[in-house]
Structure 1
């Protein structure tokens, strides 16, 4: 049976879908998930997960160039994508943090546009947390634990940063929202 996603992507047993999930900040996380529909249920594989780290000691122009380059690398190496999803962001702790996150958004959107993509869906942070942990106020550690449970990741699988596990959580939340996978037991 086929399943139609928001962007018009049809999920079938024959053709997997590829999702690029973005946790955008000045240290963004990128997750590439591939979903295959099997008779036994969907199988989700992490194709690639990474993050980049910038420092406030560098000029913003250098930070943004690096973020755009990292985005371009992910697009080039792991595309094509059926869906691009990111966490929704409205404001940071202060004016400066809001400015830098929106700067990172702009250069990521620029890289996406060069490859013919745009963000298909934005999911609020509390929704992402609720979808993977059952709790909208979950901590970073709880989000990672939820991701590990949902994907049955082995103990030796390591996320280098919480930006990486957050990016995977965003992709999983998208799949929950689309009805492709179910929320973990106990999640509301």
Structure 2
């Protein structure tokens, strides 16, 4: 037997002995499919709420001849109802704040707002915009209705409690016919109980 035929015979024998091992081996498992990770929205903002707020106001009263400014604390109550549509939340609300903003002899004693708010459901957070009818009461020149608009954010602290903040711009033109324009910016922190 020659070396060449011996080499061919050894190679053939090795192939025959190894074939059953390869034939009986399980096929390699296919790779697991890639599944996208979806973060579920955990908060449901549907329902009524009631709370208290504490804030700060900066206001200016101006006529054709003079402009006066003042700032001070605000405190009051807030209530409303929201409906969660999945990714979006729409609601109505009411705020009533006691105020102490003085322009000469005129003192703005309270501000009330009837609000519509709409925003993005972020799970445990709610980022929203506000449009409102506003009413200011004074000690000397009566009361008048204007408008307010702004932004806010609310975050759940559990199943029922939430902490939020809101910044609003207010405008009252020709206040109660006295020729005084009042503009105010308020920033408030609130704690609400969601039913």
Q: What TM-score results when the alignment is normalised by the length of structure 2?
A: 0.29
Q: Which has the larger radius of gyration?
A: 2
Q: What TM-score results when the alignment is normalised by the length of structure 1?
A: 0.30
More strand by share: 2
Question: Highest relative contact order (Cα 8 Å, sep 6+), 1 or 2?
Answer: 1
